[in-house]
Chains A and B, each alone.
Chain A
Amino acid sequence: EAGVTQFPSHSVIEKGQTVTLRCDPISGHDNLYWYRRVMGKEIKFLLHFVKESKQDESGMPNNRFLAERTGGTYSTLKVQPAELEDSGVYFCASSQGTATNYGYTFGSGTRLTVV
């Protein structure tokens, strides 16, 4: 079984540019989550999809971040325009049932550097 796949693995962009991160969850996992870890800090929740619907987007920092999951399969997270403070590692995770029962399966993350 393929795991959670994220790409790119690394991205370096200039302030003001746009970047789109992609996550392919484990096939059949309805729940998809985005998290972010800024250097040395805790891993912070961004949002949660159930299929194509946003179940909880309370962690999205501002309207420069847009997440989509068309068709309930893969998800994209777009940052536009990127700012320096957006640098960090963006993790995607998926789960079959609710995460409280099973925990998540995480991808390897996308390391975003805004210069």
Chain B
Amino acid sequence: GEDVEQSLFLSVREGDSSVINCTYTDSSSTYLYWYKQEPGAGLQLLTYIFSNMDMKQDQRLTVLLNKKDKHLSLRIADTQTGDSAIYFCAGAYSSASKIIFGSGTRLSIRP
């Protein structure tokens, strides 16, 4: 079945770039997403990328997709304290209506 994997923790210095990585197993994924969960809040859709794209940039966020290696990454430029959250990688498949999530990467920012 589908599987999405992420590392559990990432710590970066304020002002540096953060890169959160994700690998997935099902190559039939049509859309890949990054969701953000701040403490006490729900899941917020940050950005998404179609499977026929290699890169998508949106202000401080850059998503890279390597379909050959089934690898997705999220880069946050100039990381701020407000970026502290759990980031979930997720994939959707045309054969199903559900989205498959990873375990989430907790991003912490140090001064």
Instruction: Report A's interface with B, CB cutoff 8 A.
Output: 3-4, 31, 33, 35, 40-45, 48, 55-56, 59, 91, 93, 98-101, 103-109
**Contact yes or no, A42 B99, CB < 8 A:** no
Given A43-B88, A106-B42, A108-B40, check contact A98 B48 (CB 8 Å): no
Give A109 to B44 CA distance when docked, in angstroms.
Answer: 12
Give A63 to B100 CA distance when docked, in angstroms.
Answer: 22
**Contact yes or no, A48 B42, CB < 8 A:** no
Interface of B is mostly: strand
Which of A42, A105, A109 meets B104, CB within 8 Å?
A42
Some 9 contacts from A to B, beta carbons below 8 A apart, are A42-B103, A43-B90, A43-B104, A56-B97, A93-B43, A98-B97, A103-B45, A103-B99, A104-B45
Which of B30, B45, B88, B104 meets A100, CB within 8 Å?
B30
Would you give the shortest CB distance from B94 to chain A, in whole angstroms?
A: 6
Question: Which residues between 1 and 21 of chain B lie within 8 Å of chain A, taking CB atoms?
Answer: 4, 8
Chain A residue with Cβ nearest B5:
A42
Would you give the shortest CB distance from A31 to chain B, in whole angstroms?
A: 7
Contacts of A104 in B (CB 8 A): 43, 45, 99
